[in-house]
Amino acid sequence: MVKPLKIVVTGASGFIAKNLRKYLSEKNLELVSISRNDFKNYKCETKIISKNYEEKNLLKKIQNSDVLIHLVGIGKQSVNTDYDMINTELTKYIVNLSKKARIKKIIFLSGLGVSSSTSLGYFISKYNAEKQIINSGLDYTIFRPSYIVGKDDLFSRNLKKQIKSGEIIIPGSGNYSIQPIHVSDVVKVIFESVLELKFNNKIIDLVGPDYVTFEKYVKLFSKGTKTKIRKIKLEEAYHNAIINSKSDFGIDDLNILIGNFKGNYKKLSKISKIEFKSVLKLLQSGRLL
Ligand SMILES: NC(=O)c1ccc[n+]([C@@H]2O[C@H](COP(=O)([O-])OP(=O)(O)OC[C@H]3O[C@@H](n4cnc5c(N)ncnc54)[C@H](OP(=O)(O)O)[C@@H]3O)[C@@H](O)[C@H]2O)c1
C-alpha cells in the first residue's frame, strides 16, 4: 500500500487553515495540525497545542512529513506582537524546524503587493519571510493572495458588522480595486501545490478572476439590505485607524486597499486545473456567505 502523504499545518485555528484542514481531511492523508489553542481535530489528524512552537514538543511529531503549510501570520501590529516577530522571525524559525525534521517542502501565504521595492512594513515582513523560504534549500510554493473570502473571513465579517450597524464606510473614493478569491478555490490550489511538481519553487499570485473597485464590491455585498454607503475622507479613515486599534479599517487594511494591487490571474489559471469561481457572481446570486 502507498503511504499516505503527511502534511503539517501551522496556525490551525485560522480562517484558511480551518477550511484547508476540512478539505484535506476528506482526502487520504495524514495531518498534523498545530495551534496555540485547543481545537477539534479530524480522525486522520494529530492535534498539537503549542504556544510558541517549541521544538521539543514538535520535532518528533512532524518528522519526515512531506509538506508543511505555514499559515501563521498577522495583518495588524500591537506592542506585544509585531510583523517582524510573527511574519518574519517565526517563519524563519519554522523553516529551520522543517529542515531539522527533514520535511521536503514548505508552502507559504505571503501577500499580493509584496515585492523587493515595497516600502510598507507589512509587506517587508512578508518579503523577508519569502526570502527565508527561498534560501532554505527546501522545495517551496509561495502564494501571494488578494482578499480570500468565504464563510467567516475577516474582510466579510468586517463588512457584515458594518451592515448590521446600518452603514458601510468607504475610505476615500472607493475607486481602488481588489481581486477576491474564494476560499474553496484557495484550499484546492494549495492541495494542487502539494501534489504537483510544477508548483515547486514558484511565487504565484492567488487572485480571483474579477478585478473590481471597492465601491462596486461593497454595493454588491450589501445589495438588498438597505445599508447606507458613506464615503469618508482618507484623512479621517487614517485618523480613526491611528487612534483606535478597533476601527473598521486598520492602517494596513487601508494601505493595502489603496495600494490597488493587481495580481497575475492568467499565470494562476494556467498552472492550475481549477475553474476559479467569480466572487462577484457568487455575490450577485447571494451564494457567497
Ligand atoms: N485571508 C486573507 O485574505 C489573506 C490574504 C493575504 C494573506 N493571507 C495570509 O494567509 C495566512 C492565513 O491567513 P488567515 O486569513 O487564515 O488568517 P487568520 O485567520 O488570522 O489566521 C492566522 C493564524 O496565525 C496564527 N497566529 C496569529 N498570531 C500568532 C502568534 N502571535 N503566534 C503564533 N501564531 C499566531 C493563529 O493560529 P492559531 O490561532 O491556530 O494559533 C491564527 O489563527 C496569513 O499568513 C495571512 O497573512 C491571508
Residues 6 or more apart whose CB falls under 8 angstroms from that of 160 comprise 289
Which atom belonging to ligand 1 lies closest to the Cα atom of 11?
Answer: 37
Q: 3-state SS of 152-196?
A: CCHHHHHHHHHHHCCEEEEECCCCCEECCEEHHHHHHHHHHHHHC
Q: Are 218 and 173 in contact (CB under 8 A)?
A: no
Angle 234-243/251-259 helices, nearest 10 degrees? Answer: 150
How far away, in angstroms, is 74 Cα from ligand 1 center? 6
Q: Are 167 and 174 in contact (CB under 8 A)?
A: no
Identify the burial level of 208 via C-beta atoms within 10 angstroms of its C-beta, where 0-12 means exposed, 13-18 middle and 19 or more buried: buried
Average pLDDT per block of 10 residues along the chain, 289 residues long: 90 98 96 98 97 95 98 95 98 98 98 97 98 98 97 92 95 98 98 98 98 97 94 97 92 96 98 97 85
Q: What is the CATH code for 5-145? A: 3.40.50.720
Q: How many CB atoms lie within 10 A of CB 90?
A: 21
Cβ of residue 111 lying under 6 Å from some atom of ligand 1: yes
Cβ of residue 289 lying under 6 Å from some atom of ligand 1: no
Pairing of strands 29-35, 5-10: parallel
How far away, in angstroms, is 11 Cα from ligand 1 center? 6
Indicate left, alpha or beta for 180 from its phi (over 0: left) and psi (-120 to 50: alpha).
Answer: beta
Taking the alpha carbons at both ends of the chain, their separation in whole angstroms is 40
For ligand 1, atom 47: residue with the closest CA: 73
Q: How many CB atoms lie within 10 A of CB 249?
A: 19
Q: What is the distance between the alpha carbons of residues 218 and 231, in angstroms, rounded to a whole number?
A: 11
Identify the burial level of 124 via C-beta atoms within 10 angstroms of its C-beta, where 0-12 means exposed, 13-18 middle and 19 or more buried: middle
Residues 6 or more apart whose CB falls under 8 angstroms from that of 190 comprise 20, 69, 107, 143
What's CA 137's distance to the chain center, in Å?
Answer: 23
3-state SS assignment for residue 203: strand
* Domain ranges, ordered by start, for the chain: 5-145
pLDDT confidence of residue 1: 67
pLDDT confidence of residue 289: 66
Identify the burial level of 204 via C-beta atoms within 10 angstroms of its C-beta, where 0-12 means exposed, 13-18 middle and 19 or more buried: buried
How far away, in angstroms, is 1 Cα from ligand 1 center? 36
Cβ of residue 280 lying under 6 Å from some atom of ligand 1: no
Identify the burial level of 176 via C-beta atoms within 10 angstroms of its C-beta, where 0-12 means exposed, 13-18 middle and 19 or more buried: middle
How far away, in angstroms, is 87 Cα from ligand 1 center? 9
